[in-house]
Structures are given as C-alpha cells and as structure tokens.
Amino acid sequence: MRVQRFISELCILPNRASCSENELKSAKYIWSALRRLNIDATIDQFKSQKRMTGELITILSGFIAAIILSFYSPFSGFIFSLVALLLFWGHFSNRFKPVARCFRRSTSWNVVGRMKEVSATHHIVISAHHDTARSGPLWNPARVQHFRLNFLLGFVLLLVLILLLLVKIILPASLFLNILLFVFIAYSVIQIFMLFFSGYFSPLVQGASDNASGVAVVLDLAHKLAESPLQNINVWLVTTGSEEVGAVGMKAFIDQYLTELTSHKTYFINFDNVGGDRLHYYLGEGMLNLTRFSDELIKLAQEVATQETFKTVTPSTYRLAYTDAIVPANRKFPTLLFLATDEHDMIPHWHWTTDIFENVNFGTIEMASAFAFELLTKLDKKVKAEKDAAAIERMKQESIKTEEEAE
C-alpha cells in the first residue's frame, strides 16, 4: 500500500521533533515526494520554538505573581490574575499567544505543494503536520484517559483562585484565605516542575500515527489528484511543522499566503492521528470554547458517509486538545478535521513511545484517503454547479438589461 510505504519511510527517522534536523529531513522527503508527481512545491521556513514549556511556565508564573502581589496590593493582584487568565484562554483557544513570540527563536519548516487549475474559482488546502511530540507524565497510558478532566479541573481551580483574589480585596488579612493562596502557589510550582520535566527530559516519540499517518493521506491524495485532477478548485497540499508546539506552522502558512487564500473562497481539510481504529469527521474542536467547523463541508461528509464503503465513518467533536484545524477555523475559513480514535474515543498511543509503525491501522488511513477523495470530488462538482448557475444568472441579467436598453 502506498500509505504504508510513506509511513515506513518517514519512520526511518527516530523522531521529527519541532525545529530539529529530523523535522527538516522529513520536510525534504515530503517535498521530494510531491516533486516526483510534477507538483510545484516549496519548503518555507518560519520562526518557531522547540517546546511550549517556556510559554506555559510563564503563564502559570503569572498566577503565582498575582498571588504574591495580592499580599501587597490585593486589587493589583486581582487585576494581574485576570491578565494571566486571559493569556491562558488565548493559548488554549489558539486565538492569540503574545507570550509565545518571546520564545520563537528557532527555525521550523512547512512544505507547500500547489496544483493549479486555469478555470478554478476556489482553493482547498489539504493539510497534516509532519512534526512529532514528546511524551511525558500527562500522556502515560494509565492516566491519559483523564487528560481532559484534569485540564478542566485545572481551569476551574484557576477560576477559584481569581475568586479568592477578589475576596482578598475585601478581607486582606484573612488567615484562612492566605493559607489557601499558599496552597495554590504550591500547586502551581508542582505543575511548573512537571512541565519542565516533560519539556526537557521526556523522550521524543516516533510519531507513526501522530502524524506520519496524516502526511501519508496528504501524499496519497496527491497521487490520486495527479491522476484525476479537480477542475474547479486549486489544490494546496500542505504539511506543517511545529504543530506540536502550538500549531505554529499552520499560522505561518496562512500568514504567508493570506492574500492568495482570501482572493477566492478557500476550504481547509486537515488530517491528524488517522492511524487509529475508528475514523471520524469532526463538527468542531476546542479545549475551552468549541469552534464549529464548516456546515458546508460537514454536509458533504455526511453525504459521503451514507455510502456503504464509509458507513463506519462517524461525526464527532474534538475537545481533547487542539489540531492545526483550529487555526483556519478561528479565521473563518471553511474547515473540516479527520481524526481516528479507539473504542474509548481516545487517540491510541497518544504522545507515547508506543506510537510506532507496528501499531498503526493502515486500513483506517486508506479509508481516510478514499473518503477525502470522494468528498473532494463532490465539492468540485458543487463548485462547478454554483459557477454554472451564476453564469446563467449573469446571462439572464444581461439579457434583461439588453431588452431594457432596446426599449
């Protein structure tokens, strides 16, 4: 199988860590695969970071600073905690990350392939990230099923902290309140230690499913589209770097090509972790607030899923973490995500050293490619029908105008 070969060749590298030499090697491999199909392709570099550790520790330290400040000026401590909460929300919603700019001192790489059609009136970006993650205590298979619960509990604790700091404005000398604030400091220090350990000492993973599987779908679709091109849509085949450190590559891609992407209607279809057993198309994603994906693409996915071949592909919502899909969706581009889970609706071998070639379900990856190709074909026909209808309407309007002028 073609996808199996792509994954095996990507997994020759022990990892493809963000901003690493191995990430660059994987980008060059993908570029070569596209060029062999005579697809115009470039490797675009951008500034990124090797890990999110510094960014997250800075945000958590903001809450510690707010507590300390509250002992000198309760009102100032409360305001400072609101700023820290805003930074926390911006990071985990992927809407804004001002702190991250301080840590983006390394280089990462996107691969951008383009299949242009002369008569095309739309764009579609087919994407997957090619970098890999680190493992760590949070992703231990014995505890990873509680990942979202732990995240939400942590967020609730931050809200409780802000409430306590608000109360401290009224009761600045409360011994019980001060003890609780010191408990929060201890809790935050433990979290910082875990982040530091995971970011600097946890082993890097091979990333067969996360996300060589997604890259394999992009490359497989490149082959299929080279044989049967879309007639009305320009196809962009994009693999991004630095997704694992905050979807930095997808943001860099959109920023770099924004003028072209907004010149026509542009769709995004993203593939992430499609090496599990149960393939889903997603209605939306978000760790905090849910960002809904494109109703238009969801409707097409529902139509494809009615076919006997794809009856096992089901809709879902992704609340576990984030993917590259959140970036274009937040910018109001019509977006759709494909991801595969296990029977517990978890990503198998997620960010763990068992995410290796031998543990990938290649049948699911083949299905993801076939499903997406069918969806792309339907979208191309839909765009053509809309274009033809618009042309007929223009002809009618011109005819009416001509008749009016003749009178």
Joined tokens for residue 302: 């529902």
Does residue 397 sit within a domain? no
DSSP E strands: which ranges in 252-368? 265-271, 278-285, 291-292, 314-318, 335-341
- Which residue from 362, 113, 378 is spatially nearest to 223, judged by alpha carbons? 113
| Final residue of a structural domain among 186, 201, 216 | 201
Both 227 and 307 in a single domain? yes
Residue 343's identity, in one-letter code, is: E
CB 214 within 8 A of CB 361: no
pLDDT value at residue 309: 95
Give residue 282's pLDDT band: very low, low, confident or very high (50, 70, 90). very high
Is 270 a residue whose pLDDT tops 90?
Answer: yes
**Overall domain count for the chain:** 2
In the listed set 201, 219, 237, which residue is the last one of a domain according to the structure?
201
Q: What percent of the chain has pLDDT over 90?
A: 90
In this prediction, residue 1 has a pLDDT band, given cuts at 50, 70 and 90, of confident
355 located within any domain: yes
pLDDT exceeds 70 at position 257: yes
Identify whether 400 is part of a domain.
no
221 and 149 share a domain?
no
Q: Distance between CA 184 and CA 189 in Å, rounded?
A: 9
Phi/psi at 70 (nearest 5 deg)?
-65, -20
Q: DSSP code of 134? A: B
Residue 402, pLDDT above cutoff 80: no
372 and 334 share one domain: yes
Q: Are residues 244 and 184 in the same domain?
A: no
Assess whether 265 and 232 both reside in one domain.
Answer: yes
Q: Look at residue 253 in the predicted model and tell me its pLDDT.
A: 98
pLDDT tops 70 at residue 407: no
Percent of the chain past pLDDT 70, that is, above it, reads 98
Angle at 366 between CA 364 and CA 370, to 5 degrees: 115
User: Looking at residue 326, what is its pLDDT?
Assistant: 97
Q: With beta carbons less than 8 A apart as the criterion, state whether 124 and 376 touch.
A: yes
In a domain, 407, yes or no: no
In this structure, the answer to whether residues 221 and 274 fall within a common structural domain is yes
Q: Which of 267, 265, 305, 257 is nearest to 127 (CA)?
A: 267
pTM of the model: 0.94
Per-residue model confidence (pLDDT) at position 162: 97
Instruction: Specify if 75 maps to a domain.
Output: yes
Q: Residues 6 or more apart from 222 whose CB is under 8 A from it?
A: 33, 34, 37, 39, 113, 115, 237
On whether residue 361 sits in a domain, the answer given is yes
The CATH number of the domain where 273 resides is what?
3.40.630.10
Q: Across 160-299, where does the E strand assignment appear?
A: 233-240, 265-271, 278-285, 291-292
- Dump pLDDT digits (tens) for 71-109: 999 999 999 999 999 999 999 999 999 999 999 999 999
Tokens representing residue 175 in the block: 């011994």
Looking at the structure, tell me whether residues 280 and 375 fall in a common domain: yes
Between CA 218 and CA 239 the distance in angstroms is 8
Regarding whether 192 and 157 lie in a shared domain, the answer is yes
Which sign does the torsion angle of CA 175, 179, 184, 188 carry?
Answer: positive
Residue 260 has, within 13 A of its CA and on its CB side, a CA count of: 14
Rounded CA-CA distance 5/301 in Å is 27
User: Could you tell me which of 31, 250, 224, 227 has the C-alpha nearest to residue 128?
Assistant: 250
**114/102 Cα distance (integer angstroms):** 32
Co-location of 307 and 377 in the same domain = yes
297 with 261, same domain? Answer: yes
Domain limits for position 63: 55-99+138-201
Please tell me the distance from the alpha carbon of residue 124 to that of residue 111, in angstroms, as a whole number: 15
Greatest Cα pair distance in the chain: 90
User: How would you classify the pairing of strands 278-285 and 335-341?
Assistant: antiparallel
Nearest alpha carbon to residue 68 among 77, 58, 55, 56: 77
392 domain-assigned: no
If asked whether residues 317 and 353 sit together in one domain, one would say: yes
Same domain (yes/no): 337, 223:
yes
